[in-house]
Amino acid sequence: MKTFKLFILAIFLFASTGILNAQKITILHTNDIHSKINGDGPQADYTPLVVNNGSIVLGGFARLSTLLKQEKAKNPNGTLILDAGDFFMGSLFNPVAPRPGFQLALMKKMGFDFTTIGNHEFDYGPNPLAEAIIAAKKNGGLPQIIASNLLPDPNSSRDDKFEELFLNETILPYKIVTIKGVKIGFIGILGKNAAEVAPNKAPVVAENQIKTARNMARMLKKEKHVDLVICLSHSGEYPKGKFRYIHGLIAPVSTKEHPDGEKGLYGEDIKLAKKVKDIDIIISAHTHVVVPKPFKVGNTLVVQTGAYLHNLGKFDLNIKDGKIVSYDYKLIPIDDKIKGDPEINTAVNNYIEDVINKKILKPLDLVYSDSVAKTLFNLPKHSIKGYQYTDLGPFLTDAIRNYVNEYGGGTDVELLASGVIRYSILKGKTGIVSLPDVFRVLPLGWGNDSLMGYPLARIYITGHELKNLMEVLLLSKGDDSYVFASGIKVYYNPKKLMLTKVYKITLNGKPVDFSKKNPKLYSLTADTYLLGFIGRVKKLSFGLVSVVPKFKNGQPVHNMKNALIDFDKSKEGIQIGTEWLGVIKYIQHLKASGQSNLPEIPLKYKNPVSNRIPGHK
């Protein structure tokens, strides 16, 4: 028996020798921050310097800063802090140019070492992105940006500032660092889908992701002799089987339904891991998926934290002879159990006062801390059944239509694409809806230097074209491409053939004559992003359907900027309006009730009726 015990002890000591002699490297990582600097949840409930107050608000830079300090102190000379892109776009902290490079400089101050460029960094275009990076460089520095497959156009001035960042090595295709004797190579990839949904990146081109990653990783391993290759990949993956939405993020229902192995996840980063065997770790992003433990594909480990700083990912790697001999991994919730960093919190509050309030909101007679409404229920962005069953879309679409009718000359129909709805309106502890809560629901786009958000425009189409447009919208299957409508009801027969389903449309309760003989034009309002697709309906439907956007006089609209709505004709030029501002203005007209004396979101938007009504003629 004694001999057996000694044998077991010998095996244990032999097995542990590799770990005991290994170097411990800690990787802390985030992805898809989306400028959620002041937390993700009802702003009235966000108290970063107060712990354990029962708030549902997650994240925030003040709490993250504290957590990063705590974790880095455990391995001070062996910790790297990484981000996988989409650090911008999603709150009133959006870096509209020209603004100081506040967020990137603050990330540097908090200890971030590397990041990469996601699709939303290009929302304002490559040169405005470059201006934000240049400003951050002057304002305290920024994390090293790695972009391996982005190629600026040397013959275009639209990205010349962005191109210069590659030439002066502010942005690098790869970077090698040595930590505790371990040589690590970093690459950064913008995925295929991410590149496709970033039209404003033009003329910048995203080269083939797998080919670029394979060549770069092989070069790092074979020529530069790195021990590890870490890829910051803004590409993503999705869980198979059952899942649920938590604050707008996709998460498995349980870890049992999200096992290691190829049955648990699918998507671009899984394919990347299969095709590029020289990558050791993929820090994933783009799909906002919570991956509770590393997903192993061959020898590659794939991780993702979800988004919005709900979690901090932590890898403790034991490296020996250039190999990962063991690791521990966990997602650390960033919640109200963490007391925020006072210095970072003060910096954030100063920025709100000096920039957001004075330069962005003051011209609109608004203040960041404004409480604008009260809600007795959640208005979720997502539904497991699909967008048409959500509460939020109909509320927003009605609100914007009311705004146009009140201030912008009126409209028959308002359209809102589900893809621009970025967040839910949550009741939280108090039910108070603050101005930042409304903005982050519709944060995308850029009206001009002083107004963020896609501007609203108005076109005119015939009844026949309206019917054709509704037929095309019925073809949409993906949640991100669902389009809400206000002002009309569409009746359709789901059993009919494609493009013959719609049999009745009513406007204010009256049937629309959609015969080709009817010359009457109907006004249709939406943001310029969505209206830009309407003119391409013929191409998208392979020539089967044609919709020609027109002015009120019947002349075709060739540029949606010429169809912008003027929301204040008493001033010179066109005073544009945006969707989020329209929702604020609508809320201000709602009936106030209760002790708060705040406008209350109507109960009719709890389980609202869809404007598309399936039936049988």
HEC string for 35-74: CCCCCECCHHHCCCCCCCCCCCCECCHHHHHHHHHHHHHC
pLDDT band at 22; cut points 50, 70, 90: confident
- How far is 85 from 268, CA to CA, in rounded Å? 15
Local structure of 470: helix, strand or coil: helix
Instruction: Quickly state the pLDDT bin for 19 (edges 50, 70, 90).
Output: low
Q: What is the pLDDT of residues 27-53, one digit of tens each?
A: 999 999 999 999 999 999 999 999 998
Extents of the domains making up the chain: 22-333, 370-614
22-333 and 370-614 have identical folds? no
317 within 8 A of 179, measured Cβ to Cβ = no
Which superfamily does CATH assign the domain made up of 22-333 to? Metallo-dependent phosphatases (3.60.21.10)
Per-residue CA distances from 583 to 41, 125, 392, 399, 442 (Å): 18, 26, 12, 5, 9
Residue 596 has pLDDT above 80, yes or no: no
Please state the rounded mean pLDDT for residues 99-109. 90
Four-residue CA torsion sign, 28, 231, 249, 43? positive
pLDDT digits (tens, 9 = 90+) for 483-513: 899 999 999 999 998 889 999 999 988 999 9
The CATH number corresponding to 370-614 among 3.90.780.10, 3.30.360.10, 3.40.50.970, 1.10.3720.10 equals 3.90.780.10
Which residue type does 501 have? K
Tell me the pLDDT tens digit for each residue of 158-211: 999 999 999 999 999 999 999 999 999 999 999 999 999 998 999 999 999 999
Q: Closest Cα to residue 85, out of 110, 57, 122?
A: 122
pLDDT of 82 > 90? The answer is yes
Check residue 241 and give its pLDDT.
Answer: 72
* pLDDT given at position 79: 98
Angle at 278 between CA 272 and CA 279, to 5 degrees: 55
333: helix, coil or strand? strand
- What is the pTM assigned to this prediction? 0.90
How far apart are the C-alpha atoms of 608 and 601, rounded to whole Å? 13
Is the pLDDT score of 256 beyond 50? no
Beta bridge partners of 417: 483
